[in-house]
Structure 1
Amino acid sequence: MSTQDDFKKTQSYDETAVTGEHHSNHVRLEDTGKSRWDRMWPVIACGAGLFSDGYLNAIIGSVNTMLGKIYGDTYKKSKSVANISSITFAGTVLGMLFFGYTSDHYSRKWSLMASTLIIIVFAILATGSYGAGGSPRGMFAALTAYRFLLGIGIGGEYPAGSVGCAESTGELKAGSRNKWFIMFTNVQIDLGFVIAAIVACVVVVATSENHLRAAWRICLGLGVLPPLSLLYLRLKLQEPEAFKRESMSNTKTPWLLVIKFYWFRLSVVSIIWFVYDFSAYSFGIYSSSILLNILGKTAPLWKTFAWNILINFFYMPGCILGAFMADIKWLGPRKLLTFAMVAQAIIGYIMAGCYKYLNTPQNVGGFVVVYGIFLALGELGPGNNIGLLASKTSATCIRGQYYGIAAAMGKIGAFSGSWALDALQKNAGDNRPIKQGQDPFWVASTLAIFAALLAWFCLPNVGQDTIDEEDVKFREYLVANGYDTSKMGLEPSSSSEAITREKGVGLEGL
């Protein structure tokens, strides 16, 4: 039998069946004595750290523009332009894979704490970057190194934080779980993008363009505050209930069975995440440069950053509206992702076709609106839902690694997009500005259509109780293949006393 047949066979379990000892000893979550706040604050503590990802990745676009103004060709013609923008993604990939492993095999909480401390330390060091003897190139190298190490900490927020957030939403009211997961994961990332744009503009106005050497350090330094603000809540965290009952930290992970069960689904999720981040992060990082080109070289820097605020603001209606739509029964995350990606591709093709009219100072308002709709649709669909699908389409015992691999593929897409966008524009030639603007939209839109088809035909629907159902299906699969599940859970002797919600049981609260 082929591995594809194995995959189809393993997915044939009834999705609503909860049988055997795993269900017979269930404890209703409303009987655990937890208040609404007790169930809600772990969701906030786990997920909201992704604000740092949005802020620290977005602010570097504005910092790049400032460094270009300060150092001229010394910076613009160096490799540092691309390295400083994209090197964080390389560190993030490493962090996702490393903390994905530790969050499954050791602790969700302490993996999250470690990543938080890394972010704080290297955000501070990046702010104070300095080259030997005051050398600009030495400073560029130091900033590049610190941004890489900062990325490792950001990477830990995904498999430890987002996975813990998804598992914690299982204790919220049915019909709102997808919404709250999105509100404290992707909405936080997008809010980070918006705040980064506002900070860059305000700081430049406050310091003036005569003091950009101070401005870029202030912008980076403010990125230390968000992770610091979450330290107390994260110290209070307990391991999620799903992790307590399903962890394989006390037993050997059956990797062959895991691969046979999940390889196809993980591949699909990873490809879609790659495509989304390819355009979302690369377009966001270079939005300041695109606007600078449209407004002209004589426009003051603050005006470029002010327009950038408007561009980034378009992320918010897309992700917030999408959060509320993700719990609609007839729609759900998979369909919402598909429809939004198709709509985004159509807008992208329109932008490519009309770019010669949009690429003028007098039409900059039209450019920002259409480009903003393009970005909003990306958040409405894949931005919100790919992380949700990655966190809820695997069993708890390997969720950190499953999510970490998928998210790492996304960041590889972001890293690739940063380089590809720059390469596309250079390949078009300096004397062909229209083609420089068109080509990225042709590529991004075509990839979006491809990803939409994958989501529609290859991903499962995700409901309110998918995490519990997935745990049951995977346990049944393990038992059917001779694996001893009695040692699963943080306390193996009581691992069978699972907290499993029955269909139709509602929780009071949110």
Structure 2
Amino acid sequence: MERPLSIEKHTGHTPPEAAPIQEQPTNTSYEGHSRPAYDETEKSRWERLWPVIACGAGLFSDGYLNGVIGFVSTMLGKIYPTAYASSPAQRNVSSITFAGTVVGMLIFGYTSDHYSRKWSLFASTVILIAFAALSAGSYGAGGSSSGLFAALTAWRFLLGIGIGGEYPAGSVGCAESTGELKSGTRNRWFILFTNVQIDIGFVVSALVPMIVVLITGEDHLRAAWRICLGLGVIPPLSLLYLRLKLNEPEAYRRETMAKAKTPWLLVIKFYWWRLTIVSLIWFIYDFSGYSFSLFSSTIVDNLLGDNSPLWKSFGWTTLIYLFYLPGCIGGSFVSDWLGPKMTLGIGVLAQGIVGFIMAGVYSYLAHPQNVAGFVIVYGVFLALGEFGPGDNIGLIASKSCATAVRGQYYGIAAAIGKIGAFVGDQVLAILYNRYKDTDPIKAGQYPFFVSSALCILSAGIAFFLLPHIGQDTIDEEDVKFRAYLAENGYDVSQMGVQRESAEHIVGQTEVEGGNEVNEKVSKA
């Protein structure tokens, strides 16, 4: 695809074909034509940055809505001690969102590539608002608790579809928008408005229940859990207008196959191995990261004992989640300095080592008088997870493939990651519940042994099998993919949404310029 030319108004007696073309600096070429880099734009700093914010910040909802359900589940267990404990809802309410998220990632991965990044993102935002509100208003027919649990489970599944849409539409749009930012800062801006937003969402998801329970008291938990879920409407609602004003990212406008047939066989041959590696690392990260996040309130509650106030358990969990922030914020800067591959590998290796240490000393930490020590060690374990894979796996997934198939590539990798979260939630719960009554030490140790072993495996995969991701990888990957398609007989002139309009503008300008010159010649 030829880049649009900058047309100057022709004056004097110079024929239009001889007038100099205003050239832009170029970074590479394909099909024999030069193309400007994505950051070669006259936009102001704010005009470049606000699409990054609007696309990525919605992931705060992922952190909040996924995190808060663990606390809501604890409240429901207090309100309905027998009915909830004996119901499959105790497990399903927390984990069903992951199933919906997988569906949303796959659906919106497809629509973001084949229809629109902007409108896919807008649709996912509307879904988030609607089903966050409906979750808060869940009600069983005749006031039955089983009906309430069934309704909440159903709304949480549909809410997950909206959360899933934030990943391929929002994160991918965010990554493409960072291409217009200054080289050397792109990774941190992506991370600050994707993973950091998720982690802030988790912190708030623990802080809000603590404050609400302090206000309502434990005698009014029926109101407290609904308030906690209802507040989840506010974050996506605040982004709705910004997302309505978004334009499609420049990379998408150049490279989309929305109006062309996708050569699936060529895409699979080119990306299957890379997608497998990225998906495997994401599976392992979510297996430990998300499942431990949901699991942490249960662990702390048991450490503090049955007689501890609920707000105190939520408060300690808030402190644990706060450890996410130095990890993810620090990792965002290191990712620009060392690169995503090395940062991910170093972070997850260190996390595995700390996890083994924690499992080894768990017999000492697993006492109410040592809960502060547990929180610190566990917090470091979680912080390292955010420093490494938490910050960088989404970045690698969004920049390690071409723009034309990025939404689907990212959606598949993220969906496999969420399957890891679901599997981890089930496996760690089974391990914990198997030993919690007979051997509480093993109940706490075994989940950390399993997670830490997977961290070491993930580090090896990252160091030896992940591709290098540089500051200009999005642009470079688009060029490589186009060249590969062209070599295999695919008509790359079909790609992009600007080609026809750009050629029309150029043609019209040349005709107008030619007519102007002819008029001046005849007058002379």
Amino acid at match of 2:471: Q
**Cα distance between partner residues in 2 of 1:338 and 1:395:** 23
Q: In the alignment, which residue of structure 2 is the partner of 1:297?
A: 306
**Cα distance between partner residues in 2 of 1:188 and 1:64:** 23
**Cα distance between partner residues in 2 of 1:21 and 1:495:** 17
CA-CA distance at 1:119 after TM superposition: 0.5
In the TM superposition, what are the counterparts of 1:386-397 in structure 2 within 5 Å? 386-397=393-404
The counterpart of 2:334, out of the listed 325, 329, 333, is 325
Q: In the alignment, which residue of structure 1 is the partner of 2:415?
A: 408
Structure 1 residues 494 and 392: CA distance shift in structure 2, 3 A: farther
Please say if residues 486 and 495 of structure 1, whose CA atoms lie closer than 8 Å, have aligned partners that are also in contact.
no
The counterpart of 1:336, out of the listed 329, 343, 354, is 343
Q: In the alignment, which residue of structure 2 is the partner of 1:3?
A: none
Asked whether 1:364 is paired with 2:371, we answer: yes
In the TM superposition, what are the counterparts of 1:21-32 in structure 2 within 5 Å? 21=31, 23-26=33-36, 29-30=39-40, 32=41
Structure 1 residues 360 and 27: CA distance shift in structure 2, 3 A: closer
Query: Which of structures 1 and 2 has the bigger CA Rg?
Result: 2
CA-CA distance at 1:264 after TM superposition: 0.2
**Could you tell me the TM-score, scaled by structure 1's length?**
0.92
The counterpart of 1:192, out of the listed 201, 204, 228, is 201
The counterpart of 1:419, out of the listed 405, 426, 435, is 426
SS in 2 for 1:326: helix
**Cα distance between partner residues in 2 of 1:495 and 1:454:** 44
**Cα distance between partner residues in 2 of 1:84 and 1:55:** 15
Asked whether 1:213 is paired with 2:230, we answer: no
Could you tell me which runs of 5 or more consecutive residues in structure 1 were left unpaired when the two chains were aligned: 1-15, 498-510
CA-CA distance at 1:379 after TM superposition: 0.1
Deviations 1:58-94 (A, max 9, x none): 0001001100011102101211111000000000000
Larger RCO, structure (CA 8 Å, separation 6 or more): 1
In the TM superposition, what are the counterparts of 1:161-310 in structure 2 within 5 Å? 161-310=170-319
In the TM superposition, what are the counterparts of 1:385-464 in structure 2 within 5 Å? 385-428=392-435, 430-464=437-471
Structure 1 residues 247 and 73: CA distance shift in structure 2, 3 A: same
Q: In the alignment, which residue of structure 1 is the partner of 2:14?
A: none
CA-CA distance at 1:25 after TM superposition: 4.2
Structure 1 residues 299 and 400: CA distance shift in structure 2, 3 A: same
Asked whether 1:473 is paired with 2:480, we answer: yes
Deviations 1:212-236 (A, max 9, x none): 0000000000000000000110000
**Cα distance between partner residues in 1 of 2:432 and 2:493:** 57
CA-CA distance at 1:28 after TM superposition: 6.8
CA-CA distance at 1:495 after TM superposition: 8.3
Please say if residues 182 and 388 of structure 1, whose CA atoms lie closer than 8 Å, have aligned partners that are also in contact.
yes
Deviations 1:151-171 (A, max 9, x none): 000000000000000000000
Aligned length: 479
The counterpart of 2:53, out of the listed 28, 38, 44, is 44
Amino acid at match of 1:396: T
Please say if residues 129 and 237 of structure 2, whose CA atoms lie closer than 8 Å, have aligned partners that are also in contact.
yes
Please say if residues 30 and 483 of structure 2, whose CA atoms lie closer than 8 Å, have aligned partners that are also in contact.
no
CA-CA distance at 1:470 after TM superposition: 0.2
Deviations 1:282-316 (A, max 9, x none): 11111111011100001010110110110010000
**Cα distance between partner residues in 1 of 2:60 and 2:483:** 38
Deviations 1:328-376 (A, max 9, x none): 0xx2110110011110001100111111100001100000000000000
Amino acid at match of 1:34: K
The counterpart of 1:147, out of the listed 146, 150, 156, is 156
Amino acid at match of 2:30: G
Q: In the alignment, which residue of structure 2 is the partner of 1:82?
A: 91
Q: In the alignment, which residue of structure 1 is the partner of 2:18?
A: none
Asked whether 1:347 is paired with 2:354, we answer: yes
SS in 2 for 1:33: coil
Asked whether 1:57 is paired with 2:66, we answer: yes
Deviates more, 1:54-63 or 1:428-437: 428-437
Deviates more, 1:453-462 or 1:182-191: 453-462
Amino acid at match of 1:386: I
Please say if residues 38 and 179 of structure 2, whose CA atoms lie closer than 8 Å, have aligned partners that are also in contact.
no
**Matched residues, percent identical?**
67
**Could you tell me the TM-score, scaled by structure 2's length?**
0.90
Q: In the alignment, which residue of structure 2 is the partner of 1:20?
A: 30
Deviations 1:1-43 (A, max 9, x none): xxxxxxxxxxxxxxx983334751436744x331111100000
Could you tell me which runs of 5 or more consecutive residues in structure 2 were left unpaired when the two chains were aligned: 1-25, 505-524
Please say if residues 38 and 475 of structure 2, whose CA atoms lie closer than 8 Å, have aligned partners that are also in contact.
no
